[in-house]
Amino acid sequence: MGNNRILIVDDEPHVLDMIGQGLTSEGFKCEVAISGEEALEMIMQNDYEFLIVDVVLPGMDGIDLTRKAKKQKKDILVILMTGFVEKFSYETAHSTGASDFIGKPFRVQELILRMKHVRMQERLRLMSITDELTGLLNRRGFFPMAEKQLKIADRFGDEMALLFVDQDNLKSINDTWGHKEGDSAIVNTACLIKDTFRDSDIIARMGGDEFAILMVVDREFNGDVVVKRLEETFDRHNRNSSEKYDLSISVGCAIYKPESIFSLDDLISRADAEMYHNKSLKRSG
């Protein structure tokens, strides 16, 4: 976000020229496409901050392009252009994944003002769903993304795995070395978790010393193998670290199948229960 790179999509050359020249003169880096299909290929190969697209296009229309673009690059900001303002609304725009819409004809300065507004709104949105300490999603950010992913899993018959992670001995670190060191331990734990999983996995700090990871898995998935890989990441960190203490975690895993009737809250509860069971085994051992 914030790279000033813009993709403009319209099948009218004079519109592309007008917007492109206007935005370029304001310091934006503009590229153009005349069809949804061409634009989607460009989006898959490049990182754009903004997609500015006409709703009416030959072949793939702007609505369909927006939905597909947001699946490929979830951070891209989309402004729809339409000559039918009376038939359009913010609700329509937002339902496609777009951030805003603008009625044709318009002045480039009006478009720039809308782009600035969209940027500001996106910053505020990210602040509200991001954990300030670790940069991961917070609890508020995790739930809508995870609910959406479960719906997609239901539609396509995918299985999901939820790992619930609790950092061990954080109270002891805080009591012995101070809360600043405790915060450092949480940040390092978050980094190790993030380094272990894929960019497509949904990772969040749920609060305090608890983390959750939701991922799409195949039917050969073995939760014990993934947990072991995560624990080995921490073991490797401890061997190479000069910290005064080791980082340790307890992990629980629960599987969601398309035919499952339980909710996201149920899935978290199951993983959480297994995590506490594993933690108690560790303490008694």
Q: Which DSSP letter does residue 85 get?
A: G
Pair of tokens at residue 38: 């061409």
Q: Which residue reads 């020249």 in tokens?
A: 21
Element (H, E) at 64: helix 62-72
Pair of tokens at residue 242: 């000069």
Q: What is the dihedral of CA 113, 116, 117, 122, to 10 degrees?
A: 160
Pair of tokens at residue 81: 């252009």
Return mean pLDDT, the chain. Answer: 92
- Per-domain residue ranges for the chain? 5-129, 139-284
- Angle, CA of 101, 98 and 79, to the nearest 5°: 40
* Cα Rg, the chain, nearest whole Å: 23
CB-CB contact of 183 with 133 (8 Å)? yes
Question: What is the reported pTM?
Answer: 0.76
In this prediction, residue 182 carries a pLDDT of 96
Domain 139-284 has CATH 3.30.70.270: yes
Confidence bin at 199 (pLDDT 50/70/90):
confident
What strands lie across the sheet with 159-167, from one edge to the other? 202-207, 210-217, 159-167, 249-256
Out of 3.40.50.2000, 3.30.70.100, 3.50.50.60, 3.40.50.2300, the CATH code matching 5-129 is 3.40.50.2300
In whole angstroms, give the CA distance from residue 202 to residue 149.
Answer: 9
Mean pLDDT of 184-212: 96
What digits encode the pLDDT tens for the residues 149-191?
Answer: 998 888 888 999 999 999 999 999 999 999 999 999 999 999 9
Q: Which residues pair with 53 in a beta bridge?
A: 9, 80
Confidence bin at 260 (pLDDT 50/70/90):
confident
